[in-house]
Structure 1
């Protein structure tokens, strides 16, 4: 609604109106145009001109759009993390989960090079995984830049551990396809196995927790991912110690 191009075109009076609205959004949606004009010390004509700059025919339409934005930006109710974690821990005892984890361990153990890949919030998990592996004497490269040049990389005999909640991000899919083209293997950690990334992977671990997000941010609990990567790292370390 408030795009930067329009904001940069506002004059001093209109900037004051904008600042007032940002500080009083919840009350402005119930104001009359005269009330907003009085509060911002401008004329109703200036308010109308302000509204038109944001693509609204009048103040009523502006308030409707503002109210819609407020509804979109409301923080969702976060579910009970303890219940989610207990359900996840129960699933870690199933044969299917143990099979998936072991398959990932085998692929990573056989690789000459390990790349921990994730963008956005998942990039933090990829970075943590790379550092945790390093603490156990297992070197890996963290890639958190979607534009990291992979075309010249020798990915043969290498594995990319890719993190993505949805497994549908266009940037992560582009990266995964580049890995496949260059002969690398993919181990993915996603929220479910029905996503595109999981289908492109040589092995996948899915943790199946409720998807939670607001308009701007992914809020899905990621504690299960920490459990998974630490378990894998410790198992790899055991294998290393036995050699």
Structure 2
């Protein structure tokens, strides 16, 4: 709810107020401004200044945002894995995903260099994808640092495969933009085709699974990504065989 820039701008009193709010969000959401002032030993003027610094017109708007944040952070029960698999088969495999996988595989098969990128759980799968492709004869690398130096020999006739559930990860977008400017063909696997990463890709494979969050962690199933990676690797093997 609070950005790093906002926190850095707080003075001593505002930092004290922030610390109280961060530790008592469920209480503050239903307090009156005078009650919060008494609890934190600051003036109502300080509270109003704090609210403006975090982009709210006043304390009432701040409490609305606070309640929305609390609602968003409510613990949810993860769906049964059979449900997510069924959703994937019903929504995705009835579409043109296999055709896109074959198109992507054809581009990768002709490439001299294949680089996977991704962050977080997508990064783990990117590393797995590089290993799986290499195991089936298409040597691939996984690079997680967008500033990692890539020799010009590895830029020629290259394919970059980006993995991202949201398709909006800033680090991945920045890395992808760099690779695109270097002339690499971009293939992405995302949850939606309208995301930034999907739109700047030459080929996008999207799988349309309901996103799941549990205690601020994105636990959206990665089964569709595994399917796409392994299907591509096997198609590439068949093409090169």
Q: Using structure 1 for the length normalisation, give the TM-score.
A: 0.70
Aligned to 1:140: 140
2:189–2:206 CA contact under 8 A, matched in 1 = yes
Structure 1, 193-202 or 21-30: larger mean CA deviation: 193-202
How far apart are residue 207 of structure 1 and its match?
1.0
Q: Which runs of 5+ in 2 are unaligned?
A: none
**Structure 1 154/238 Cα, relative in aligned 2: closer, same or farther at 3 Å?**
closer
Is the Cα–Cα contact under 8 Å of residues 33 and 47 in structure 1 kept in the other structure? no
SS class of match (2:132): helix
Q: Do the aligned residues in 1 keep the contact of 2:51 with 2:62 (CA within 8 Å)?
A: no
Greater Cα radius of gyration, structure 1 or 2: 1
* Contact 1:114/1:141, CA 8 A, preserved across alignment: yes
CA distance in 2, matches of 1:228, 1:206: 10
Contact 1:28–1:63 (Cα < 8 Å) also in 2: no
Distance 2:82 2:58 in 1: 43
Separation in 2 of the partners of 1:101 and 1:50? 57
The two structures have a TM-score, normalised by structure 2, of 0.71
Unaligned ranges ≥5, structure 1: none
RMSD of aligned C-alpha atoms?
3.9
Kindly indicate whether residue 59 of structure 2 is the aligned counterpart of residue 65 of structure 1: no
Is 2:77 the partner of 1:75? no
Aligned equivalents of 1:167 and 1:134: distance in 2?
Answer: 25
Q: CA deviation at 1:25?
A: 1.7
Map Cα deviations across residues 125-166 of structure 1 (whole Å, 9 max, x no partner).
323322333455643221223344569564222211122334
CA positional deviation for 1:201: 3.5
**Structure 1 residues 21 and 233, CA gap change in structure 2 (3 angstroms):** same
What's the offset of the Cα at 1:176? 4.1
Higher relative contact order (CA 8 A, sep 6+): 2
